[in-house]
Amino acid sequence: MIEIKTYCGHIRNWKLLCKELDIDNSLSRAEREEAIIIAAYKKWGGDMANHIYGMFSFALYDTDTDTLFCLRDQFGTKPFYYYVTDSGKLLYGTTIREIMESDGFHKKLNQKMLQIYLTMTYTTGEETFFEGVKKLLPGRFMTFKNGEIKITRYFRPTFEPDNSKTLDEWADDIHNTLAEIMTEVKSSDEYVESFLSGGVDSSYVLAVSDAPAANSCGYDDSRLDESGLARETADILGRKFNRCVITPQEYFDIVPYVMYNMEQPLGDASAVAFALGCIATAKGTGICYSGEGADEFFGGYNMYRN
């Protein structure tokens, strides 16, 4: 029997997998993705990583072989951590907090990370600021059996220049790829809004999406405020525009909350503003902004840097 122990993320190619694995695609997202993970593991084992794409990390337990199998997506969008106790027990989770709350964990500063952080302004590699807590790196899966950890790298990005197409042809490829991905990002019955900075990336994503509204952070100081350009973009695209004005007081008041939910320090001031924008958007759409949601958001944000 296969038991999913922890899961965080979203499988993008679920339609193809439902068809290939004979899964009812009318199930809710949570039920559907759990069924996909179990069926994919039964069919492909560790090679399931080469059949699934999206943003995800999870751990499942195979009772027949007494094996714990843990997988992190190709680019590490979703985090996954593990820790071995003095007694040899493996603690794991998609947040460090899950591990810290478990019996057998000893909280201790990993001083080796200080120099790395002060140099890079974020934590690199598999170690964390908590001694003994390690990250399963992107594009890897891990098995734990008979007290032994085995980590396998299943994905390695490569750079292969292709000069066979013109610039316009590459632009068309990018557009067609993004348009195709948009159908996988959300189902037709799901509601989304878009973040819009006024830059090229977010403007383009909004343009090819069906998001009815765009959300942007702004400041009273015009030297720092890009929301005017974002509003112009939203108007051109015919989308509703919401602007969250961030005051210095709000910014500094939320820093402890942001740092707590990130779990590890990150020297990127934009993360604080982004958090305020997320909270304002969630409130505006009536979405409940829970602690669990904060864990997932901040954990994912931090992992993008690794």
Which strand (E) or helix (H) includes residue 273? helix 270-285
Amino acid letter, residue 240: K
- Give yes or no for a contact between 102 and 30, defined as CB atoms under 8 angstroms apart: no
Integer Cα distance of 15 and 294 in angstroms = 28
- Give yes or no for a contact between 23 and 32, defined as CB atoms under 8 angstroms apart: yes
Integer Cα distance of 80 and 306 in angstroms = 12
Amino acid letter, residue 260: Y
- Give yes or no for a contact between 48 and 38, defined as CB atoms under 8 angstroms apart: no
Q: What is the pLDDT of residue 306?
A: 34
All residue ranges of the chain with pLDDT < 70 are 285-306
Integer Cα distance of 150 and 120 in angstroms = 29
Q: What is the pLDDT of residue 285?
A: 65
Q: What is the pTM of this model?
A: 0.86
Residues linked to residue 244 through DSSP beta bridges, in sequence order: 217
Q: What is the pLDDT of residue 300?
A: 42
Q: What is the pLDDT of residue 284?
A: 76
Reference 219, options 194, 193, 250, 195; nearest CA is: 250
Tens-place pLDDT, residues 75-125:
999 999 999 999 999 999 999 999 999 999 999 999 999 999 999 998 889
Integer Cα distance of 135 and 125 in angstroms = 8
CA 286, 292, 298, 300: dihedral to nearest 10 degrees? -100
Q: What is the pLDDT of residue 198?
A: 78
Q: What is the pLDDT of residue 128?
A: 96
Integer Cα distance of 305 and 128 in angstroms = 13
Strand order in the sheet with 134-135: 90-93, 81-84, 134-135
Integer Cα distance of 98 and 2 in angstroms = 21
